[in-house]
Chain A
Amino acid sequence: MHQLFYNATQDNSAETHSAEGRALAKVGNLQSAEAELRKAVASAPGKAEFLRDLATVLAMEKKLDESTSYFQRGLKIDPRDFVARRYLAANLWQLHRYAEARQNLRMLLNANPGDPQALLLLGMVSENTKDYATAAKTLASVPTLVRAQPESIAALARSYYHIRETEKARAWLNKLQNHAAGVRAVFLGVQIADEMQDYKTAEKLLSSLAQHYSDQTDLRYRLALVKFHAQQFEESRQILQQLIDDGYKTSEVNRLLASCFRAQNRHEEAMHALQEAIQLDPANEASYLDLASILLAQKQISSAMELAQRMAKAFPDSSRVFASKGSIELGAGDFTDAVSSFTRAAQLEPASSDATIGLARAQANAGMPEQAKATLDSAIGRFHEKARFELELGQVLLKEAETGNKGAEVRAEQLLNSAVAHDSRLAEAHYELGDLALRRGQAARALIHLEKAAKLAPSSAKTHFALSRAYRQLGQKEEAAKQAALYDQLKEKETPRAPDPSSDTPPSN
């Protein structure tokens, strides 16, 4: 009796907190609503409805992880709470936990095959997981819901592009021109068309704003960006130059202008534009990084080293800056300093695969192959991009094998085979396997890999050189000569002319 009374009291109190919480949530006071709903859940932890309400408020507050766990607790108690499951699926989608999201959506659709919200979410999840055929089919089945959000229109259009239904993609993007979300929707359409290399549609969408978008300079900048992506470098450059002449001088405009100059091999002008960009916005590390990249490519090592020091001082907590500094030091042959820079870059951003690979390369060059192997071995376990690290470690081991370590050669071959199994588009891995076969005098086997490598990276001089060697070893002199000629042409393009006396050149190291 006493127990029954106690529970009834608790229930009453929980109901009160729940009602209060809901009322607060309705008026947008989410923080207080959350507090009341927590009290309700604490008083009646077995009540699914309270758990769902608290989870919903937490989701509204973007506390997605906690929200998800409350939804899951509630659904254990009441698995047929379709609303809670739909919200859970939405949470999981936002948390990029696509497999779990899909599982919950399938459960909803099994129970109610026409559930439009579930179909919309399933379409979005499919698009995110690159299952574009399912995404297009599913999203197209709920056109009204798709039309309501520019993001879902974008997802459907992107899916159509991927399955090569370009006209349907364009038709959906065109709907963004008159969308209630306004300019934001159009810019999203421009972004999708640009990304999918449908530059005409991107320009068309931009031009739809010509009359009524207040910030015409922004519009011109965006047009220049699309034209740059469309490789219309001169047109892009002219638009940007005009912007600057009109007084619209920003760091972004100068950076894009520099990219145009660089694409046109006007490196001095590119560097000048980037120096302007740095002056205009000294806090924007991107301009420094672009300038460093050009200086390195142009082998202006002293200037690049100077810039690297400046960058490191200005952005002491930027992984990208330290990775760039490391690359410059690698280019300068300053390998031990490169190890330090890449170590710092990797510490600042442990998830950066570029920093990790840079570190391994610096270690290998600094005469620390054991450390390089350890770095890469550990990365293979940590990173999703297994193939890239397998290739890199394979290359370090091949180098080691050259000094007589047979075991290293065996493991290198295994890693390279694994790399091409994980990513068959890795031209470099095919090249290494071909080169290895050539070293072993297996010219026919080498040809198989080298031809794949050449198909994937047709402008790789060394691949054509290796092909010429393979054909020569097979006695196919004509084909060997053809490949050697290709090598000569490509090599010519790769080799910079001897610099004039005034420019700084890399040290001999």
Chain B
Amino acid sequence: MRLTLRPTLRPATNNGSIFCRRRALGCLSLLTGLFSFISFDLLQHSQAQSSSPSKEIFTDITEKAGINWRHFSGESEDRFLIETMGGGVAFLDFDGDGLQDLLFVNGGETPHGKSPVPVRNALYHNLGNGKFEEVAAKAGVDRLPFYGMGVAAGDFDNDGFPDLYVTGFPSSALFHNNGDGTFTDITDRAGVKNAGRWAASAAWFDFDRDGYLDLVVTNYARFSFDDIKKCELNGLRTYCEQKAYSGMPLTLYHNNGDGTFTDVSEKSGFANLIGRALGVVPIDVNDDGWPDLFVARDASPNLLLLNNRNGTFEDSAVDADVAYDPRGLAKAGMGVDAADFNGDGKPDFVVTNFNDEYHSLFIGTSSLLYTDQTVTSRLAAYTKSYVGWGTHFIDYDNDGNLDLLIVNGHINQVVETTRVDVKYEEPPLLLRNDGKGVFRDMREQAGSVFQSGYRARGLAVGDFDNDGGVDAVFTRLDGKPVLLRNNVGQNHSWVGFELQGTKSNRDAVGAKITVRIGNRKLVRWITAGASYLSSHDKRVVVGMGDGPTSANVDVEIQWPNGRIQRLSRLKLKRYHKIVEPTANEPTGGKRK
């Protein structure tokens, strides 16, 4: 059963336009002009509460939004490493009402870390008025039969409703979105249990371009609650370093298109890629139209898996100079994101690492060789003392330059007794890109959250109030998450895209969007996965600063199946729902 329309929940906006729900075609206006037949204009909905001016860039609205769920790690004297690693968060519009909802994945109990109340996930339904309602139990996603870690939201069956893959230990689960506000656990039927493994991040991507989202799962380490590793510092039990745990191979599931998956880890070569993998982002690195993968690994070399277009992948991380630090040491890679940071049209990568290692910034060049610009970008200076987790390139002020949001937090409380410059609870970082490849720390302007310490882990971004300013949410170990409303993004010009594949996967994961404004070219990709344990709003917002008018904004979309489509004269400050043209429709472009 599908959700029924609830127009009374949609307040009129300042400009008088009426917000339209997806698939409610009656209230979607057809674009006029050359490409009107392929593009729907999703009218801009701007919620009243988000337009109020504020001095800070991001405001913590968690409490105001009614989000009071808490993460539970099961921390105990046993000091199981898993207690330090969770949990994930997803922005997704699970009920198709055009508003981004939130799913939080909880951890679980450990042999001596018991919860006084049942450990539950939370699914917060966005009510559209700045408030959220917790509906996990009603939706059937509140309980997990395993210790929960992360989440990847993606419409694997192309039915228009995002499904959920929830990772954990010693198994993971796939929840099919029934389209009526509920989910069904179809893990066993689908064959994606990932049994016996400690899974961390997962990402949906269509590696064989057959139009169905496949699934890559990063598995962290060989682990058992029966295997207690003892480490002490200053007489206190503490967590042993990650190298005490052997790494695991990645898992790759091929979507058969019939609701089932085939484990192709062996066939693809993933089974041989053993290491402590935590973060993953699919992206077309070499611009051949096929999705590749960057995998961030913890004290194991990072992987850059190039898609051989035949179901196998080749690791080119060493050749690309992204596997190790300059001394040949594998950093403690946790989160990862990919985007065109420097505006040259090629994907760059950010990887979060441990304190003293600095989070890494790898910039693409004309060849496959990347240059490490961690130091020159000043990322090293800003991240020296932090243990980083979730991260995302985000153009928070919509000036067209991708900035960087990173959440941090140490894993050992005892660290504060061993050194003077590292804290257990660490602030998130908002780093502004000056357009020349150098970051500036915005903590003074970013808001009080950026001056407070947290044990943050998962980070997801999404525009929950549909105002074009990309908002963010991060999870906290054993704490309440933090929902941040963007107060500045809507002040600049922007254009938003919600792509819907037809021949390509419906989420259009892997699509490349190129926006031309005069001489400036802005390239964005739809990347499922990325960050750490988390899943973002799949819509893309392209900021344009103060300059452009709709007359000179041209767009090229390279769909995941390689087809190229060109659009022009898009209206600004609104989301455009663009449906992939069918084979017979003209696109204005060629196939890649």
Known contacts A337-B234, A507-B231, A507-B412: A365-B419 contact under CB 8 Å: yes
CB-CB < 8 A to A508: which residues of B? 81, 231, 238-242, 411-412
**Once the chains bind, are A484 and B420 in contact (CB under 8 Å)?**
no
CB-CB < 8 A to B230: which residues of A? 302, 504
Report if A240 contacts B (CB, 8 A). Answer: no
How many A-B residue pairs have C-beta atoms within 8 angstroms? Tell me: 122
CB-CB < 8 A to A509: which residues of B? 233, 238, 241, 412, 414-415, 418
B273 CB to closest chain A CB, in angstroms?
Answer: 15
Interface residues on B, range: 35 or more
Cα separation A335 to B254 with both chains bound (whole Å): 48
B125 CB to closest chain A CB, in angstroms?
Answer: 38
Q: Which of B242, B328, B415 contacts A466 (CB 8 A)?
A: B328
Report if B15 contacts A (CB, 8 A). Answer: no
Report if A381 contacts B (CB, 8 A). Answer: no
**Once the chains bind, are A333 and B422 in contact (CB under 8 Å)?**
no
CB-CB < 8 A to B374: which residues of A? 402
Q: Which of B232, B321, B326, B380 contacts A472 (CB 8 A)?
A: B321
Report if B417 contacts A (CB, 8 A). Answer: yes
Report if B378 contacts A (CB, 8 A). Answer: yes
**Once the chains bind, are B419 and A439 in contact (CB under 8 Å)?**
no
**Once the chains bind, are A366 and B328 in contact (CB under 8 Å)?**
no
Cα separation A504 to B244 with both chains bound (whole Å): 9
Report if A128 contacts B (CB, 8 A). Answer: no
Cα separation A504 to B319 with both chains bound (whole Å): 36
**Once the chains bind, are B380 and A469 in contact (CB under 8 Å)?**
no
CB-CB < 8 A to B243: which residues of A? 498, 505-506
At the interface, is chain A mostly helix, strand, loop or mixed?
Answer: helix
Report if B324 contacts A (CB, 8 A). Answer: yes
CB-CB < 8 A to B238: which residues of A? 507-509
Cα separation A365 to B231 with both chains bound (whole Å): 20
Cα separation A509 to B231 with both chains bound (whole Å): 11
Q: Which of A89-117 contact B (CB under 8 A)?
A: none
Q: Contact string, B230-266, partner A, CB cutoff 8 A, digits 1/0?
A: 1111100011111111100000000000000000000
**Once the chains bind, are A507 and B240 in contact (CB under 8 Å)?**
yes
Q: Which of B81, B231, B240, B381 contacts A403 (CB 8 A)?
A: B381
A395 CB to closest chain B CB, in angstroms?
Answer: 11
**Once the chains bind, are A367 and B381 in contact (CB under 8 Å)?**
no
Known contacts A367-B420, A505-B244: A301-B231 contact under CB 8 Å: yes
**Once the chains bind, are A469 and B321 in contact (CB under 8 Å)?**
yes
- Closest residue on chain A to residue B236 by CB atoms: A507
CB-CB < 8 A to A464: which residues of B? 328
Known contacts A473-B369, A484-B318, A498-B243: A465-B234 contact under CB 8 Å: no
**Once the chains bind, are A366 and B384 in contact (CB under 8 Å)?**
no
Cα separation A332 to B381 with both chains bound (whole Å): 25
B488 CB to closest chain A CB, in angstroms?
Answer: 26
**Once the chains bind, are B229 and A505 in contact (CB under 8 Å)?**
yes
Q: Show 18 A/B contacts (Cβ-Cβ < 8 Å), sorted by A.
A: A302-B231, A334-B233, A335-B419, A337-B234, A366-B418, A366-B419, A368-B420, A401-B375, A402-B358, A402-B384, A404-B381, A435-B326, A462-B328, A472-B319, A498-B244, A507-B232, A508-B239, A509-B233
A472-B321, A506-B241 given; name 6 further pairs at CB < 8 Å: A302-B232, A401-B375, A469-B321, A498-B246, A505-B243, A509-B414
The 9 closest A-B pairs by CB, nearest first: A367-B421, A465-B328, A403-B381, A505-B244, A508-B241, A507-B231, A507-B238, A404-B381, A367-B420
Interface residues in chain A, defined as those with a beta carbon under 8 Å from any beta carbon in chain B:
301-302, 305, 332-337, 365-368, 401-404, 435, 438-439, 461-462, 464-466, 468-469, 472-473, 484, 487, 491, 498-499, 501, 504-509
